[in-house]
């Protein structure tokens, strides 16, 4: 729609983006309706005043943090996951900006994003393969691929290389996720 707005009777790409946002809003609204009407509340407790709710929430948070100190592996896991997922999300969010800075056409970047979605369709097979090699080995393989992909991105020479990165990225994400 944004690449060929005239096919949809739209004036330009900015009009297509506006229509796309409305379509996404309608899409999410329609798919939220079953949850809104068919899922019953578990209980009807009285609403607490905001100050009491905040005070209780902070008390529970403090209690959780105090309990976490007894489980050092969980603390290490949370810290490692936070750093790991932050790095992954940075690369994902910056991919389009990187492609634009290299002078790639918007149509190529959209195609790369679509390619990533199609590759993600096959990622359950990666998860099945990961079960055979184990989670730990799968994570180390995925980390190696991430590092390799990041180094490869530094030496990108064209759109073809960008497509190679787009297709490899989701497979190693699937290999390292639960």
**pLDDT score of 61:** 94
Mean pLDDT check: name the lowest of 20-24, 26-30, 164-168, 172-176. 172-176
CA separation for the pair 153, 166 (Å, rounded): 10
Could you give the residue ranges of the DSSP H alpha helices within 102-158? 106-121, 123-133, 135-154
Residue 100 tokens, joined: 């634009």
Residue-level pLDDT at 76: 86
Per-residue pLDDT tens over the stretch 98-130: 888 888 888 888 888 788 777 766 655 656 666
pLDDT surpassing 70 at residue 142:
yes
* pLDDT for the residue numbered 169: 63
- pLDDT of res. 19: 92
- Min mean pLDDT across 57-66, 88-97, 101-110, 151-160 is at 88-97
Helix 159-176 / helix 72-101 crossing angle, nearest 10 deg: 170
Structure token pair of residue 25:
């809003």
* Angstrom distance (rounded) from CA 96 to CA 135: 30
Q: Name the average pLDDT for the chain.
A: 82
Tokens of 19: 């229509």
The yes-or-no verdict on residue 176 having pLDDT over 60 is no
């Amino acid at each position: 729609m944004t690449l060929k707005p005239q096919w949809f009777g739209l004036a330009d790409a900015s009009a297509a983006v506006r229509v796309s946002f409305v379509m996404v809003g309608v899409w999410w609204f329609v798919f939220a309706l079953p949850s809104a009407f068919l899922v019953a509340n578990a209980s009807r407790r009285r609403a607490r005043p905001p100050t009491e709710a905040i005070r209780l929430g902070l008390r529970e948070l403090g209690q959780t943090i105090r309990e976490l100190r007894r489980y050092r592996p969980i603390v290490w896991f949370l810290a490692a996951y936070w750093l790991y997922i932050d790095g992954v999300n940075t690369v994902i969010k910056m991919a389009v900006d990187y492609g634009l800075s290299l002078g790639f056409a918007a149509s190529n970047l959209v195609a790369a994003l679509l390619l990533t979605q199609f590759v993600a369709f096959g990622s359950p097979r990666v998860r099945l393969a990961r079960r055979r090699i184990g989670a730990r080995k799968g994570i180390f393989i995925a980390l190696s691929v991430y590092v390799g992909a990041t180094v490869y991105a530094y030496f990108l020479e064209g759109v073809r290389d960008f497509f190679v990165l787009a297709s490899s990225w989701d497979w190693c994400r699937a290999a390292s996720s639960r």
